[in-house]
């Protein structure tokens, strides 16, 4: 699904990542851990396509990340950061709706890309290729960049949009909407409702972000990512500013999404106990290099943690899951 091959990245002549290679399997939760300044967030930016490696490459589904368009990458993956949404004046519902942007054309209409079974197609509709709106059997295109036209469409004069007999406009200045487009819109409304219900956001739908708590804003950001319908979710320390209740809630939502939908998750996490509880495998970075990779049982080791973090913890098995957890040991005065 995701593969890094001999990646190197530096800034102002200082190496930040060196010889980084790993592979994330489809449908797994893959954690990236390491002390501050080890290159974790930089690695996530390479995976997301925001930055390019100076040497080596990141591949998404076998294809170099830089060969994807920004829109196509946004259809494949979503990113959730530490403080994903500032407290601006949008409502919770409006922010969740923003997750649909990569699947819309420039008029804000839903479309599907690349023939994938994603989005909401009405019966009889087919995909016109990546970046093309949905078209019916009776519609024919007038060439690249031209509006799609049915046989029965008639023009209203030079500069006027072509209109079928059955099409009705929403008023002056409003785009014409076909029945298929209405069905698409209805399908998206159902998706948004399902996402907000799942995350307990329905009661907050009309509140602006400055009227909700930090935990509720982070849930709203997760809702936006879920509405995006990605195949990959990138998490950059999403629980850093949350209390322990919201930390568990956030990771439980992500874990359930992973189990139910086969979502691939790459998560940068500071909390080693959370990482061990929720990740299938862990990658340890130190000074820009990979130190270790393996299951939580292999990674949460006192000697390894001591070598990377500079402090040797006590490691105990969780009384319920049996997963190794760390207990910090302060130096004796």
Q: What is the CATH number of the domain that holds 208?
A: 3.40.50.300
Q: What is the number of structural domains in the chain?
A: 1
Q: Is residue 235 part of a domain?
A: yes
Which structure tokens are listed for 276? Answer: 């061990």
pLDDT digits (tens, 9 = 90+) for 8-48: 999 998 999 999 999 999 999 999 999 999 999 999 999 99
Rounded average pLDDT over 67-96: 86
Q: What is the pLDDT of residues 223-248, one digit of tens each?
A: 999 999 999 999 998 888 788 988 99
Kindly state whether residue 76 falls inside one of the protein's structural domains.
Answer: yes
Q: Yes or no: say if 177 and 165 are a contact pair by the CB < 8 Å rule.
A: no
Domain for residue 215, yes or no? yes
State how far Cα 95 lies from the chain centre: 14
Task: Return the structure tokens found at 41.
Answer: 């967030």
Between 111 and 198, the higher pLDDT residue: 198
Q: Where are the beta strands (DSSP E) in the chain?
A: 2-11, 14-24, 29-33, 55-60, 63-64, 77-80, 125-126, 135-136, 139-141, 148-150, 154-155, 162-163, 232-236, 264-268, 281-286, 289-294, 314-317, 324-327
Higher pLDDT, 296 or 116: 296
Say if 260 falls within a structural domain. yes
**Both tokens of residue 228?**
């995006």
Does residue 110 sit within a domain? no
| 51-75: average pLDDT | 91
Q: What angle do CA 280, 9, 301 make, to 5 degrees?
A: 35
Range of the domain at 256: 2-98+190-327
Summary mean pLDDT of the chain: 80
Please give the pLDDT value at position 84: 61
Q: Is 181 within the bounds of a domain? A: no
Tell me the mean pLDDT in the region 120-124: 34
Q: Does residue 172 register a pLDDT over 50?
A: no
pLDDT of residue 148: 34
Question: Considering the domain boundaries, does residue 24 fall inside one?
Answer: yes
Which tens digits make up the pLDDT trace of 254-284? 999 999 999 999 999 999 999 999 999 999 9
* Per-residue pLDDT band at 178 (split at 50, 70, 90): very low
| Domain annotation covers residue 139 | no
pLDDT at residue 215 in the model: 84
- Count CB atoms within 10 A of the CB of residue 314: 10
């Amino acid at each position: 699904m995701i593969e890094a091959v001999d990646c190197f990245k530096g800034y102002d002549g200082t190496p930040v990542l060196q010889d980084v290679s790993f592979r994330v399997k489809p449908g797994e939760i893959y954690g990236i851990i390491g002390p501050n300044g080890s290159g974790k967030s930089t690695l996530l930016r390479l995976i997301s396509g925001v930055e390019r490696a100076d040497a080596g490459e990141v591949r998404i589904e076998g294809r170099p990340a830089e060969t994807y368009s920004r829109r196509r990458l946004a259809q494949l993956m979503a990113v959730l950061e530490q403080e994903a949404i500032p407290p601006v004046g949008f409502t919770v519902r409006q922010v969740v709706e923003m997750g649909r942007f990569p699947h819309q054309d420039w008029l804000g209409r839903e479309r599907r890309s690349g023939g994938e079974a994603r989005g909401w197609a009405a019966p009889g509709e087919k995909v016109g290729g990546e970046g093309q709106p949905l078209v019916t059997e009776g519609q024919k295109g007038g060439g690249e960049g031209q509006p799609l036209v049915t046989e029965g469409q008639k023009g209203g004069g030079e500069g006027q949009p072509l209109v079928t007999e059955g099409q009705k406009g929403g008023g002056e200045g409003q785009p014409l909407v076909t029945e298929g487009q209405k069905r698409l819109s209805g399908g998206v409304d159902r998706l948004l409702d399902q996402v907000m219900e799942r995350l307990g956001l329905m009661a907050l739908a009309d509140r602006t972000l400055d009227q909700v708590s930090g935990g509720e804003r982070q849930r709203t950001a997760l809702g936006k990512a879920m509405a995006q319908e990605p195949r990959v979710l990138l998490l950059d320390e999403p629980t850093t500013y949350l209390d322990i209740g919201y930390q568990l809630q956030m990771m439980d939502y992500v874990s359930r999404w992973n189990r139910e939908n086969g979502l691939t998750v790459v998560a940068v996490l500071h909390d080693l106990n959370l990482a061990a509880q929720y990740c299938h495998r862990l990658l340890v970075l130190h000074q820009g290099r990979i130190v270790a990779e393996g299951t939580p049982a292999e990674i949460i080791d006192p000697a390894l943690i001591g070598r990377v973090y500079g402090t040797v913890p006590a490691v105990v098995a969780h009384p319920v899951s049996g997963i190794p957890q760390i207990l910090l040991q302060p130096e004796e005065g």
